[in-house]
Amino acid sequence: MDKAIEVRNLKRVYRRLREPPFVAVDNMNFDVYEGEIFGLLGPNGAGKTTVIKILSTLLYPTEGFVRVGGFDVYRDVESIRSIINLVTGGEVAGYGILTVKESLWMFSQFYGIETKEALRRIEKYLKIVDMWDSRDTFLNKLSTGMVQRINLVRGLITDPKILFLDEPTLGLDVEGGRIVREIIKTWIGEREGRTVLLTTHYMAEADELCDRIAIINRGKLVACDTPENLKASISQDKYFEITVPYSKDLREEFLTNINGKVSIRDFPENGESLISLSLGEDKEIANFITILTQRGLEIKTFRKVEPTLEDVFIKLVGRKFEDEEAR
């Protein structure tokens, strides 16, 4: 697979007034392949925006080697800018005195797209994001969710090879976030050779949307893999939760006949017991179910508990994701 982005030994230091220099990105290495949705996942201040600014030629690296679409971010700024676009979540989509359509047309002209073609793309993507009916609305009359969708369209109409999205669902409600993620997936699947690099601090979003994720923390890359591999990497054990009718006399049998760890919590007020199992292999669960059935115990609920990216972060970084802000 061709590399869309190459990052080697990337370092970025911010010089500050009356304070020591701050290392926002420290010796980072990763590749993004053509056709991928690649996510930079990290808490506030991790360095995500700094990386995306470097990749989109808004900021020079302090050290390291970075190539975007095969071009060097120091020497080939113009070439990179012609094949990318950048959309930042929460930014203003243009000028309030312009309508949605006028604003998008204006941005298309910055990229030298012929008007007829620009209008064709504007119509196409406004329809995809369900905003065609709002095409003549002034930008300052739009809701946050609408602004975010228009921002995204602005990124799509220039038909970039590589699209950078900095927090594309920032501030959106559940439905708004879902729509934006759907658009990103549709766009990448529409034609071969398109690549998306996005940043997010929403774990579930990275999990659902990204082919691969780089988890970053305090300027350092702590892991880079598919969401599945990241989750599988933290534990070989398989977790299950089963609720059964409350019964006091089963424990001994559970604890002795099962090849794995079993813990039971009773909720007599609900008439239920919750059994948590940690098993070496998925198939071990069959033995357990057999014991329950032989005893005539009804299984009220059954759930396989998958690790989340939050668990991955805790395991790799040693603390919870939200705690990171205060450093």
Ligand X SMILES: Nc1ncnc2c1ncn2[C@@H]1O[C@H](COP(=O)(O)OP(=O)(O)OP(=O)(O)O)[C@@H](O)[C@H]1O
Q: What residues make contact with ligand X under the rule CB under 6 A?
A: 14, 16, 22, 24, 42, 44-50, 201
Q: How far is the CB of 127 from ligand X (least distance, A)?
A: 31
Report the residue closest to Mg ion, judged by CB: 49
Q: Closer to ligand X by CB, 210 or 244: give it.
A: 210
Q: How far is the CB of 23 from ligand X (least distance, A)?
A: 9
Name the nearest CA neighbour of 37 among 180, 168, 213. Answer: 213
- Residue type (1 letter), 128: I
Residue 29 interacts with, from Mg ion, ligand X, none (CB under 5-8 Å by kind): none
Residue 177 interacts with, from Mg ion, ligand X, none (CB under 5-8 Å by kind): none
Q: How far is the CB of 54 from Mg ion (least distance, A)?
A: 13
Q: How far is the CB of 184 from Mg ion (least distance, A)?
A: 18
Residue the block writes with tokens 């941005």: 107
* C-alpha span between 244 and 272 (Å, rounded): 6
147: number of Cβ within 10 Å: 21
Q: Closer to ligand X by CB, 122 or 165: give it.
A: 165
What is the three-state SS of the chain?
Answer: CCEEEEEEEEEEEEEECCEEEEEEEEEEEEEEECCCEEEEECCCCCCHHHHHHHHCCCCCCCEEEEEECCEECCCCHHHHHHHEEEEECCCCCCCCCCEHHHHHHHHHHHCCCCHHHHHHHHHHHHHHCCCHHHCCCEHHHCCHHHHHHHHHHHHHCCCCCEEEEECCCCCCCHHHHHHHHHHHHHHHHHCCCCEEEEEECCHHHHHHHCCEEEEEECCEEEEEECHHHHHHHHCCCEEEEEEEECCHHHHHHHHHHCCEEEEEEEECCCCEEEEEEEECCCCHHHHHHHHHHHCCCCCCEEEEECCCHHHHHHHHHCCCCHHHHCC
Q: How far is the CB of 8 from ligand X (least distance, A)?
A: 19
Q: Could you tell me which residues come within 8 angstroms of residue 151 by beta carbon, excluding any fewer than 6 positions away?
A: 87, 88, 89, 91, 93
Q: How far is the CB of 166 from Mg ion (least distance, A)?
A: 6
Residue count, binding to Mg ion (CB under 5 A)? 2
Q: Closer to ligand X by CB, 174 or 326: give it.
A: 326
Question: By the 8 A CB rule, do 252 and 262 touch?
Answer: no
The reply on whether position 53 binds Mg ion by CB under 5 A is: no
Residue 155 interacts with, from Mg ion, ligand X, none (CB under 5-8 Å by kind): none
Residue 168 interacts with, from Mg ion, ligand X, none (CB under 5-8 Å by kind): none
Residue 45 interacts with, from Mg ion, ligand X, none (CB under 5-8 Å by kind): ligand X
Q: How far is the CB of 127 from Mg ion (least distance, A)?
A: 30
Q: Closer to Mg ion by CB, 61 or 168: give it.
A: 168
Residue 180 interacts with, from ligand X, Mg ion, none (CB under 5-8 Å by kind): none
Q: Closer to ligand X by CB, 47 or 275: give it.
A: 47
Q: How far is the CB of 49 from Mg ion (least distance, A)?
A: 3
Among 49, 99, 137, 247, binds Mg ion (CB under 5 A): 49
Residue 24 interacts with, from ligand X, Mg ion, none (CB under 5-8 Å by kind): ligand X
Q: Closer to ligand X by CB, 47 or 155: give it.
A: 47
* C-alpha span between 176 and 145 (Å, rounded): 6
Q: Closer to Mg ion by CB, 49 or 308: give it.
A: 49
Site for Mg ion in 29-48 (CB under 5 A): 48
Q: Closer to Mg ion by CB, 49 or 99: give it.
A: 49
Instruction: Return residues touching Mg ion (CB under 5 A).
Output: 48-49
